[in-house]
Amino acid sequence: MKEITCIVCPRGCRMQAAEENGVITVVGNSCKRGYDFAVSELTDPKRTVCSTVRTAFPDVPVLPVRVSGEIPKARIFDVMRQIGAVCVKVRLGRGDTVIENVLDLGVDVIATSDILIENGKAGGNI
Amino acid sequence: MRMDMSKCNRKLNKQFGGRVRASFENDCIVLRGELERWPDVISACRTAARKYSRIHVVNDIVCPEAQDAPMRRPSFTDHTLEGAAPDVLVIGGGISGASIARELTKWKLNVLLVEKESDLALQASGRNDGEVHPGIDLGKGSLKHKYIRTANRMFDTVCKDLNVEFHRVGQYVLFGDVWLKPLIRLYCLWRKYHDGIEDTVLISGAQLKRKEPLLDPEAKFAILNPSAGVVCPYGLTIAYAENAVQNGAKVSLGTAVLGMEVENGTIRAVHTNRGTLYPKVVINAAGVFAEEIAKMADDRFYSIHPRRGTNSILDKKAGVYMHSIASVIDLRAQLRAHTKGGGTMRTAHGNLLAGPDAVETWQKENTETHPESIRVVFDKQKKTLPRLSERDIITYFTGVRAPTFEEDFIIERGRRTKNLIHCAGIQSPGLTTAPAVAIDVAQTAADMLSEKMTVEKNPAFDPVRKGIPALREMDEAQRAELIKENPDYGVIVCRCEEVSKGEILDALRSPICVPTVDGVKKRVRPGMGRCQGGFCSPLVTQIIADYLGVPLSEVRKSGEGSVITFGKTKTPEGGGEA
Amino acid sequence: MTNDRYDVIVIGGGPAGLAAAVSAHDNDARVLLIEREARLGGILKQCIHDGFGLLRFGEKLSGPEYAERYIDMFRARDIPALTLTFVTKIVKTEQGFEVHAVNRQGISVHYAHALVLATGCRERTAKQVFIHGTRPSGVFTAGTAQHFVNLLGEMPAKKCVILGSGDIGLIMARRLTLEGARVLGVYEAKPTPSGLTRNLQQCLYDYDIPLHLSHTVTRVFGVDRLEGVEISEVDENMKPIPGTQTRLDCDALILSVGLIPENELAESLGVEIDPKTKGPYCDGQCMTGVPGVFSCGNALHVNDLVDYVSENAAAAGKAAALYTPAPQKYVPLHADGSFLYIVPQRLDLNRDNTKVAVYFRSGGDFNKTRLSVTADGREVFAKKYAFLRPPEMEKLELDFGAFGLTEESDIRFALQLQAEKEREA
């Protein structure tokens, strides 16, 4: 049996999940999403990653990014290395792809802010 | 001169069983021996010392417990000052050194002030309560008394000239026992007619309540000293130094005196980490290190015993509780202690301040704070101002005072070394006395120099320093006018203290540029407020980096190693790993 | 100086201010928003982690995404906004309020019928939790560290200790770890964690960062840069236990020891502050004790979810838009000692109280609890909770209009532990 704290929503349900003969039982969840999360924690834990990437624009040294979908928990630092190696040279906007299909995981690294576009229009701030 | 030490030694024998002996050498009382504990050393030296005496105790007692760390000094060396031959070298960038340097520029002299720290007023001058004392506790015969009244009266002009915040708010000393009133009246009369502290009055509890309604409701009467005031202590020091620079003096920060060459009672050369200097006259205003400087100059005739004190600064919201300086007196404690015992006041900037305490220490540069200090001060000062609460604290800091065992200033020419002037043993009320002391010391230096050269008045001397405008203090029309000239004055960077980007840039462009977060903070106050720089410190850091044209990771908080960040999160080689 | 008149002036352009402005505009008010920073979005600009918007948008967004959705809504309405503009003072006049502001253009004065204060909160500092020792660089509040990392791309730490298990502290523990710093541990003076449970999981346990409860930092070392901290165990009153000190070498101390609503402007107007929330006492319409002054978001009380901030701010914006002066007829909402606080603290019976959002935090960790609302001894509402924890704010929507309240009504909120009830039975 495994104690799992659900991270799907702010409720943070505390669940117990167990696997026996390929059958997973979950107690303590309040919804289906919690159940799914518990199952995934037992079989293939997944997480999202949020970070920043360097830019070529001095007024916006870094641009916030995230993965467009969940990735295997074990690959977080691999993805971070990819994110660390990027430098954005065009004024991307929110939702634009920064790294396509990162490490063949089937998700993109996307920008999460329009700051580059806005600053491009406004020209600098304090 | 001779002095009989037998009585003193009998007392020491009784106290310390022969482990310490006093002997009279070179007109000083030298104590030798070994004591395990520092409080015993203090006690032995006090036994030998006479308050306000010009014959000083020199402490050579070995104390295994009291092994202070070596003096902190800049790690770098260069040759920027190599071969410089100033007419006057001032050692120490506290209030004494800075005010002396400024007074010296009234003559046509080549003046150099050296300070080992990265900014002025980084030790005792920047770490005190900023009270301008009235002198009510000082009797004739001391140098403290000699200067206090003259100096106190100078503050209006000096602070106006130097553009420093000063308010003559008055000081109340509260008494809870009505039977003390005749005694205190006699005390005040004595002070008035004997010691010239003429403006002191006694007021009733009811009068006190009208003036300061939130102070101790139990107070039956109070001494009111209308001449007491509050000033920004580091602001005054910086202003003095800037005015000195404006009038031709040179200030070299990050410059530590490491040794001297003395020949036939004359300092020939002064070694620093930035080269060897050949000054005609040296002024020792080195605070807690005055004794070390005296020793280098072969003129050690006194000892400094560091005494630390901690002050707490409270939110400006609590600043409305009172508008003056106040303390409740416990007469018995007062007689034992060697300090004014602290108090509660509204600072020149409108915060409430409580403190300081007084703790003997052998550590000259240890400015750590301790919970005990806050407790002691608040326990005591809650009697003065019952509303005082630790919850309103926004910061606290410790300063180390530099008293002698005679508890008086040493302001005189070197006793053995001819081209040296001591301005040592400066403790409270040294901030108050500085303007008057500086005039005397500068005059002494000029007299010394005129024995060898012609010393002329500096006709170009300008006593007025144009400070950095504080826009928060201005009316809207004035403020709008300034913003029109410089739109950066309209960009508020520090929300708590309402400091604009323009003011921060002014601080960086000021005569003595200290491009650190603390340097800017001391000059124009970003980060001094209730969030303590939580919001503005990244912005201030960025402004400094942009101004200097360096990466953010090179901007420091204060001293050499005090970087704020370690560089970019992203390196071209890729991200990090846990 | 420029002069202009508005129905509603919103002060603060973070999530609360944006939602309030949008809502006031949608309720036909002429709105002006004033923001002191160069960009709208408030603190969300630097909260690059995800988890925002689950309630509001049904999506897991990052802070900038959430903020920019509101900025888009705000801009689509062409609501005037002054950015990089700082309010220096507000004067109450017979007609309403005179808001004085400063920016690069100079001083301006703006007039409003009603005000919405969406001024957010600030972080408690090291000295406010009585950390002693030296004053080196390297002591940051979590938000300051977050600004350096996420907005400036700078590392404030290589090897750090985090004091306080508040959410920002947990988020920063993960963030710094991802960027290659070593987080030695999170220390919490309380016997229970302060942050959301899911943040403990996904920020600490996922990265093997230890959490030490009932421990605090009592002292810092290092003259220039921080060189280490002293950790002490604390007793049940959160006082350090002498003799339990240990030294931990590190180059940064990051503090997540609480947030304080910023109400300096509110206080300058005479708004009375609730010592429990540190925000204004307000009624069911988010109106403070000063008629025409509304408060919302983290200035009203510290929220843990921005979704609630937006919702509460929208209510405040609407109420401000609809505001007409009328005498107040207050009835207090009493919460018993099992609550940390409830908001609002009272109702104004001269206003519409049919749909009032009530936010509360429990005073302790409670399992199986029943919340009961009584009016004059009669239970008018009840709800069961499997567990309540102080870090997790709860929200109710109540129709007080249906309870037949008068000025003399005695409204009480109580939490009953089911276990106790069973024992009593």
Q: Of C301, C323, C345, which one is at a domain's C-terminal end?
A: C323
**Using H for helix, E for strand and C for coil, what is the string for chain C?**
CCEEEEEEEEECCCHHHHHHHHHHHHCCCCEEEECCCCCCCHHHHHCCCEEECCCCCCCCEEHHHHHHHHHHHHHHCCCCEECCCEEEEEEECCCCEEEEEEECCEEEEEEEEEEEECCCEEECCCHHHCCEECCCECEEEHHHHHHHHHHCCECCCCEEEEECCCHHHHHHHHHHHHCCCEEEEEEECCCCCCCCHHHHHHHHHHHCCCEEECEEEEEEECCCECCEEEEEEECCCCCECCCCCEEEECCEEEECCCEEECCHHHHHCCCCECCCCCCECCCCCCECCCCCEEECHHHCCCCCCHHHHHHHHHHHHHHHHCCCCCCCCEEEEEECCCEEEEECCEEECCCCCCCEEEEEEECCCEEEEEEEEEECCEEEEEEEEEEECCCCCEEEEECHHHHCCCCCCCEEEEEEEHHHHHHHC
In this prediction, residue C422 carries a pLDDT of: 55
Q: Which residue of A has its CA nearest to B487?
A: A126
Query: What residue type is assigned to position B245 of the chain?
Result: V
Q: Encoding tokens for residue B539?
A: 């912005």
DSSP B266: E
Q: Which tens digits make up the pLDDT trace of B180-228? A: 999 999 999 999 999 999 899 999 999 999 999 999 999 999 999 999 9
Give the residue-averaged pLDDT of B9-17: 96
List CB contacts (< 8 A) between A49 and chain C: 178
Q: Are residues C251 and C266 in the same domain?
A: no
The partner residue sitting opposite C154, judged by closest CB among B395, B560, B565, is B565
Domain total of chain C: 3
- Is the pLDDT at C221 greater than 70? The verdict is yes
Q: Are residues A100 and A70 in the same domain?
A: yes
Q: Are residues B89 and B41 in the same domain?
A: no
Query: What's the gap in Å between the CA of C318 and the closest CA on chain B?
Result: 28
- For residue A115, the domain's CATH number is 3.10.530.10
- Is the pLDDT at C27 greater than 70? The verdict is yes
List CB contacts (< 8 A) between C136 and chain B: 557, 562
Three-state secondary structure call for residue B366: coil
Q: Which string of b and e fits C172-183 if b means at least 16 CB within 10 Å?
A: bbbbbbbbbbeb
Q: Is the Cβ of B487 closer than 8 Å to some Cβ of chain C? A: yes
Q: Are residues C26 and C115 in the same domain?
A: yes
- Determine the length of chain B: 578
Q: Encoding tokens for residue B470?
A: 């504080």
Q: Confidence class of residue B342 from pLDDT cuts 50, 70 and 90? A: confident
Task: Give all chains having 3 or more CB-to-CB distances under 8 Å with chain C.
Answer: A, B
Give the residue-averaged pLDDT of C139-155: 98
Query: What residue type is assigned to position B418 of the chain?
Result: K
Cβ contact, residue pair B563, C143, below 8 Å: no
Q: Encoding tokens for residue B441?
A: 């010391």
Specify the long-range contacts of residues C73-76, CB closer than 8 Å, at least 24 apart. Answer: C73/C18, C73/C22, C74/C18, C74/C21, C74/C22, C74/C33, C74/C40
- Determine the length of chain A: 126
Residue B244: CA count within 13 A, CB half-sphere: 33
Q: Are residues B242 and B115 in the same domain?
A: yes
Closest CA to B569 of A105, C188, A62: A62
From the CB of residue B156, how many other CB atoms can be counted at a distance below 10 Å?
Answer: 12
List CB contacts (< 8 A) between C149 and chain A: 52
Q: Are residues B236 and B141 in the same domain?
A: yes
Q: Is the Cβ of A90 closer than 8 Å to some Cβ of chain B? A: no
Residue B522's domain comprises: 471-554
- Is the pLDDT at C423 greater than 60? The verdict is no
Q: Of C208, C228, C257, which one is at a domain's C-terminal end?
A: C257
In this prediction, residue C424 carries a pLDDT of: 53
Give the residue-averaged pLDDT of B389-406: 97
Q: Encoding tokens for residue B97?
A: 């050194």
Q: Are residues A55 and A112 in the same domain?
A: yes
Q: Are residues C346 and C301 in the same domain?
A: no
Closest CA to C50 of A87, A6, A108, A69: A69
- Is the pLDDT at A123 greater than 60? The verdict is no
- Is the pLDDT at C376 greater than 80? The verdict is yes
Cβ contact, residue pair B397, C135, below 8 Å: yes
Q: Is the Cβ of B577 closer than 8 Å to some Cβ of chain A? A: yes
The partner residue sitting opposite A84, judged by closest CB among B491, B501, B575, is B575
In this prediction, residue A81 carries a pLDDT of: 96
List CB contacts (< 8 A) between A52 and chain B: 569-570
DSSP B72: P
Q: Is the Cβ of A85 closer than 8 Å to some Cβ of chain B? A: yes
List CB contacts (< 8 A) between B567 and chain A: none
Give the residue-averaged pLDDT of A61-85: 97
- Write the burial class of residue C108 (CB in 10 Å: 0-12 exposed, 13-18 middle, 19+ buried): buried
Query: What's the gap in Å between the CA of C4 and the closest CA on chain A?
Result: 25
Q: Are residues A114 and A68 in the same domain?
A: yes
In this prediction, residue B336 carries a pLDDT of: 58
State how far the Cα of B552 lies from the Cα of C15, in Å rounded to an integer.
29
In this prediction, residue B470 carries a pLDDT of: 96
State how far the Cα of C386 lies from the Cα of C366, in Å rounded to an integer.
8
Q: Which residue of C has its CA nearest to B558?
A: C224
Q: Are residues A36 and A58 in the same domain?
A: no
- Quick check: is B130 in a domain? yes
Q: Are residues A9 and A58 in the same domain?
A: no
Q: Which tens digits make up the pLDDT trace of B344-371? A: 999 999 999 999 999 999 999 999 999 9
Q: Are residues C249 and C398 in the same domain?
A: no
Q: At what angle do helices B537-548 and B517-524 cross, to 10 degrees?
A: 110
Q: Is the Cβ of C86 closer than 8 Å to some Cβ of chain B? A: yes
Q: Are residues C182 and C155 in the same domain?
A: yes
Q: Are residues A39 and A68 in the same domain?
A: no
Q: How do beta strands A50-55 and A62-67 pair?
A: antiparallel
Q: Are residues B421 and B520 in the same domain?
A: no
Q: Are residues C112 and C157 in the same domain?
A: no
Q: Encoding tokens for residue B195?
A: 């010691």
**Using H for helix, E for strand and C for coil, what is the string for C394-411?**
EEEEECHHHHCCCCCCCE
In this prediction, residue B335 carries a pLDDT of: 60
Q: Confidence class of residue B337 from pLDDT cuts 50, 70 and 90? A: low
Query: What's the gap in Å between the CA of B496 and the closest CA on chain A?
Result: 18
- Quick check: is B535 in a domain? yes
Q: Are residues B12 and B96 in the same domain?
A: no
Q: Which tens digits make up the pLDDT trace of B231-253? A: 999 999 999 999 999 999 999 99
In this prediction, residue B339 carries a pLDDT of: 52
In this prediction, residue A58 carries a pLDDT of: 92
Q: Which residue of C has its CA nearest to A8?
A: C198
In this prediction, residue B578 carries a pLDDT of: 27
State how far the Cα of C320 lies from the Cα of C8, in Å rounded to an integer.
7
Query: What residue type is assigned to position B189 of the chain?
Result: L
Query: What residue type is assigned to position C319 of the chain?
Result: A
Q: Which residue of A has its CA nearest to B491?
A: A126
Q: Which tens digits make up the pLDDT trace of A80-104? A: 999 999 999 999 999 999 999 999 9
Q: Which tens digits make up the pLDDT trace of C241-252? A: 999 999 999 999
The partner residue sitting opposite A50, judged by closest CB among C48, C152, C205, is C48
Residue C391's domain comprises: 330-425
Three-state secondary structure call for residue B295: helix
State how far the Cα of C335 lies from the Cα of C342, in Å rounded to an integer.
7
Residue A6's domain comprises: 2-43
Q: Confidence class of residue B334 from pLDDT cuts 50, 70 and 90? A: low
Q: Are residues A37 and A70 in the same domain?
A: no
Which of A66, A81, A119 would you mutate first to test chain C, the one with the most C CBs within 10 A?
Answer: A66
The helix (run of H) or strand (run of E) holding residue B22 is: strand B20-25
Q: Of C242, C257, C272, which one is at a domain's C-terminal end?
A: C257
- Is the pLDDT at B575 greater than 70? The verdict is no
Q: Are residues A61 and A19 in the same domain?
A: no
The partner residue sitting opposite B534, judged by closest CB among C125, C149, C223, is C125
Give the residue-averaged pLDDT of B526-548: 97
List CB contacts (< 8 A) between B491 and chain A: 126
Q: Is the Cβ of C206 closer than 8 Å to some Cβ of chain B? A: no
Q: Confidence class of residue B385 from pLDDT cuts 50, 70 and 90? A: very high
- Is the pLDDT at A125 greater than 60? The verdict is no
List CB contacts (< 8 A) between A10 and chain C: 51, 54, 196, 198, 304-305, 392
- Is the pLDDT at B577 greater than 60? The verdict is no
- Is the pLDDT at A42 greater than 80? The verdict is yes
The partner residue sitting opposite B564, judged by closest CB among C132, C156, C218, is C156
Catalytic residue among B56, B133, B145, B422, which? B133
In this prediction, residue C396 carries a pLDDT of: 95
B133 catalytic? Reply is yes
Q: Are residues C135 and C215 in the same domain?
A: yes
- Report which of residues B365 and C418 the model is more confident about: B365
- For residue B46, the domain's CATH number is 3.30.1340
Cβ contact, residue pair A85, B573, below 8 Å: yes
- Is the pLDDT at B171 greater than 70? The verdict is yes
State how far the Cα of B506 lies from the Cα of C20, in Å rounded to an integer.
38
- For residue C295, the domain's CATH number is 3.50.50.60
Answer positive or negative: Cα dihedral of B383, B384, B386, B390: negative
Q: Which tens digits make up the pLDDT trace of B72-120? A: 999 999 999 999 999 999 999 999 999 999 999 999 999 999 999 999 9
What residues form DSSP beta bridges with C396?
Answer: C358
State how far the Cα of A112 lies from the Cα of C63, in Å rounded to an integer.
8
Measure Cα distances from B197 to B192, B339, B572, C261, C369 in Å: 5, 19, 70, 48, 70
Q: Are residues B14 and B152 in the same domain?
A: no
In this prediction, residue C1 carries a pLDDT of: 44
Q: Confidence class of residue A21 from pLDDT cuts 50, 70 and 90? A: confident
Give the residue-averaged pLDDT of B151-166: 98
- Write the burial class of residue C338 (CB in 10 Å: 0-12 exposed, 13-18 middle, 19+ buried): middle
Q: Are residues A39 and A101 in the same domain?
A: no
Domain total of chain B: 3
In this prediction, residue B459 carries a pLDDT of: 97
Q: Are residues A37 and A95 in the same domain?
A: no
Q: Are residues A24 and A59 in the same domain?
A: no
Percent of chain B with pLDDT over 70: 97
In this prediction, residue A126 carries a pLDDT of: 40
Q: Are residues C283 and C381 in the same domain?
A: no
Cβ contact, residue pair B575, A51, below 8 Å: yes
Q: Which residue of B has its CA nearest to C135?
A: B368
DSSP B156: H
In this prediction, residue B1 carries a pLDDT of: 66
Q: Are residues C226 and C204 in the same domain?
A: yes
Percent of chain B with pLDDT over 90: 94
Q: At what angle do helices B501-508 and B517-524 cross, to 10 degrees?
A: 110
Give the residue-averaged pLDDT of C340-358: 96
DSSP B56: P
Q: For the complex shown, is ipTM > 0.90?
A: yes
Q: Are residues C67 and C138 in the same domain?
A: no
Q: Which tens digits make up the pLDDT trace of A6-16? A: 888 777 788 99
State how far the Cα of A91 lies from the Cα of A108, in Å rounded to an integer.
18
In this prediction, residue B2 carries a pLDDT of: 75
Q: Encoding tokens for residue C419?
A: 């276990």
